[in-house]
Structure 1
């Protein structure tokens, strides 16, 4: 099968940026505590800033809402969850009074951002390095296998109107990769077989996060959420999948025993 040269034209830049991000991220994941919380605060604030800019909000409004998001996420570490939750949702509600248009999109997307950020901190604090690494690898495996399978195998597009480059082969490869990662962690930790299903579900949620952001960009007529990350676009372009997975994981951990016990 012949591959067009442009299939991997951006691979070198993506890999360099990806390695830097992976180094920073894994260091924070390993360190935990305030190091990890600080990284989440920076990411969440940047995500809200990028979202507001994409939705047509001016720079001052973007900075104000991004700063508000940082304070709210920080509060989730300092305050009991029941008190922090209203502050997290206030960031989404505040956009209704600040933005002149696209309020519904901001409301929905910011709610996901804030609860996912809260969930990441809670997950790392509650379950430690091993299970935070599992989550990161599920999302990264979904993205990496999807990228290579989509470009090598190709085939029918998944949803060309929203995400022209995403293929069914890449989508399914992401599920398979996530299932394998779940199996590895199940074997290493002695967890129950449900972990494989949870891993695949988080892979799907990761892809949904990617598709949701693609839909917003297509509606707003922008290619990337920003130009902060060479080869990847903006921070939202890099972390959209993690947002989707983390958001679902908050629900999973409230409905099931986690990690899944062996049967």
Structure 2
């Protein structure tokens, strides 16, 4: 029983290590490299989404993925007012291509595009430090939740949609995110300790993104969004938390100053 509980740890860790290295290199380089990587990921996630919500849409999935990737990349080179309609174009383009799941596709695609735009803007507007902060919060939330959920167990968060997620795992993710926020507040010398609260909220948003994607998979009757990443499934399986976090930060940034405490 115990060995089965941790049976997927090896593939998950190996795949995660490769993803982290690639992500860190792209974050470090910034500029066109980071924007191209995020645009490519947006296109890949849209491709996975189409294949989940409406089977036998192979050609349409590729077309919509291409549209999403091009729109994501082009959006960061336009004024925000003109970027917004471009970010929603893939959602609108999908209506006529889908025989079923059109609403789910359109809403989730809009989230993917806006989150991608938010991630690219965070790196260009606030620099390397704060991009690494958000990535670290999401990764720590995922890792702490995984280990605490498997080791402690307990009541399920939403058993009908995501039977493996527990309240102990979710709480461990919040604690881990709070610690990350405290460390960045101390080391950066820019933000105040309000960053702890923002980090916990980002952690919660990443978990909501994870659960939202789990709901789509449950309705589609699939375990993973695709098989692109060993031990992790597809891009949506790996980046669903990042989508929730980036989308939340994009909205929350209009409500509270970011980074908090900076004059």
TM-score calculated relative to the size of structure 1: 0.97
Distance in 1 (CA, whole Å) between partners of 2:228 and 2:81 is 34
Cα deviations by residue, 1:18-77 (Å, 9 ceiling, x for unpaired): 000000001111111011101101100000000000011511010011000011101112
Paired residue total: 261
By how many angstroms is 1:227 displaced?
Answer: 0.4
Distance in 2 (CA, whole Å) between partners of 1:17 and 1:63 is 25
Distance in 2 (CA, whole Å) between partners of 1:219 and 1:127 is 38
1:204 — aligned with what? 204
Report SS of the residue matched to 1:100.
Answer: coil
By how many angstroms is 1:262 displaced?
Answer: 5.8
Matched, 1:233 2:233: yes
Match of 2:47 among 49, 53, 63: 49
User: Could you say what the CA RMSD is over the residues aligned between the two structures, in angstroms?
Assistant: 1.1
1:148 — aligned with what? 147
2:2 — aligned with what? 4
Report SS of the residue matched to 1:223.
Answer: coil
Distance in 1 (CA, whole Å) between partners of 2:257 and 2:218 is 38
Specify every segment of 5 or more residues in structure 2 that has no aligned partner in the other structure, as ranges.
none
The answer to whether the 8 A contact 1:45-1:69 is kept is yes
Distance in 1 (CA, whole Å) between partners of 2:137 and 2:215 is 23
1:70 — aligned with what? 69
Matches within 5 A, 1:155-174: 155-174=154-173
Cα deviations by residue, 1:89-125 (Å, 9 ceiling, x for unpaired): 0111111121111111111111110000000000000
Matches within 5 A, 1:74-153: 74-153=73-152
After TM superposition, where is structure 1 displaced by more than 4 Å over at least 4 residues in a row? Answer: none
By how many angstroms is 1:185 displaced?
Answer: 0.6
The answer to whether the 8 A contact 1:54-1:217 is kept is yes
Cα deviations by residue, 1:192-250 (Å, 9 ceiling, x for unpaired): 12211110000000000000000000001011000000000011000000000000010
Report SS of the residue matched to 1:78.
Answer: coil
